[in-house]
Amino acid sequence: MAQIEIKNVAKRFGTYQALHDINLTIQDQEFMVLLGASGCGKTTLLRIIAGLETATTGEVSIGGRRVDHLAPKDRGIAMVFQNYAVFPHLTVFENIGFGLRMQKLPNDEVKDRVERTAELMHIEQLLKRYSGELSGGQRQRVAVARALAMEPDVILMDEPLSNLDALLRMEMRAELKGVLATSNTTAIYVTHDQVEAMSMADRISVMHQGEIVQAASPIEVYRNPAAEFVAGFIGNPPMNFLPAAPAGDGKWTVAGQVMDGPRSGKPLKFAIRPEDMRPADEGLTATAKVVEPLGAHLLITCEVQGSMFRAVLDSDMSVNPGDQLTLAPQPDRMRWFDPDTTLAVA
């Protein structure tokens, strides 16, 4: 059992506050992705869990045991580094067996476990090579195998796929997810790539400026962003925002249209995903500016009462720049945000 509990963790580098009071519980065998733009503190949080960085305040527990004062090796973790950190002077075999050798396991067991994990990662034919003779993808596999060979309770991954080319990244994504699902380890995975996060995670923690803005399942993060930042960060293209003026009794005026919304007295922001817009007889009036046929659908960047607005429409539609469109939002997909707190309003 390796549930990870992070309580009130904060980190300060000099005058820079990298993390503010982080609270997060990661369930046993859960695949948790820390997602955010660079500089949001996700790697710092991972390094604090690993023990490579010390939190300024707060507690970290793994499997019910406080680990903040333990050395990384005593935390029951293994890690995959962004630049792989595959030791250049050791063969692939010795790289995968490095941690096992440090534990002074007998040779037979080292050999057995190295060969088993190498097979799992499909690199059994590379065991005698040095890292200088490997491709980026192969090094990546060695780094993952080295972590898995430890049979850790928790496996920490710091942007492990960011140095691979797009095709390889997609392939490794699926493979990594499969391997980790069968390994019964709790995984924390840091990435800035939302597609990676959406496709791999059991749960995503979206981080922004040293805080966790939302921690929820991928579909929840996508459908019900807890804050404007999440709505604007997740999804490609991201959510559209339009100012909404109260029209009394749960009614709102958005770009001249009256819509049903939450009961609130002050102005809100109306938000909708581009793919949740439909051409209709009645709705928002939009002027198409740029039309991008993407094969599966049509991405239209338009203007709605002076604001930029994107819609994803069926590729059969014929739209030209300058055309006037009437687009209606799907009622159950409309979201509302408080412009002061930037949080979602239900």
Partner 1 sequence: MNARLLPYVLILPVTLFLCLFFLYPFLLVSKQAFSTGAGFTLDNFREVTGYWKFPITMRNTLLLAAAVVPIQLALALLMATMVNRMKKGRDLVLYVWTIPLGISDLAAGIIWLAIFEQSGFLNSMMSGLGLVDKPVNLLTFQNPGIVFLAIMLAEIWRATAIMLVILVAGIGLIPKEYYEAAEVFGASPWKRFLRITLPLLRPSLQTALVLRVILAFEIFAVVAALGGTLFPVLMGETYAYQFDLLNSGAAAALALIILAISIAFTLIILRVLRVPKGATI
Binding site for partner 1 (CB under 8 A): 50-52, 71-73, 77-79, 81-83, 85, 87-90, 98-99, 102-103, 129-133, 146, 150
CB of 55 to partner 1, least distance (A): 17
Query: 82 vs 199, which CB is nearer to partner 1?
Result: 82
Token look-up 């005698």 returns: 128
CB of 38 to partner 1, least distance (A): 17
Going by their DSSP bridges, the two strands 324-329 and 277-293 should be labelled as antiparallel
Q: Would you mind telling me the total number of residues written for the chain in this entry?
A: 346
C-beta separation of 197 from 35 below 8 A: yes
Query: 50 vs 300, which CB is nearer to partner 1?
Result: 50
CB of 6 to partner 1, least distance (A): 18
CB of 117 to partner 1, least distance (A): 13
Tokens of 25: 């519980």
CB of 334 to partner 1, least distance (A): 46
Token look-up 């921690």 returns: 215
Q: How many CB atoms lie within 10 A of CB 293?
A: 12
Query: 79 vs 242, which CB is nearer to partner 1?
Result: 79
CB of 327 to partner 1, least distance (A): 49
Query: 73 vs 122, which CB is nearer to partner 1?
Result: 73
Query: 71 vs 294, which CB is nearer to partner 1?
Result: 71
Query: 102 vs 247, which CB is nearer to partner 1?
Result: 102
Query: 153 vs 228, which CB is nearer to partner 1?
Result: 153
CB of 119 to partner 1, least distance (A): 20
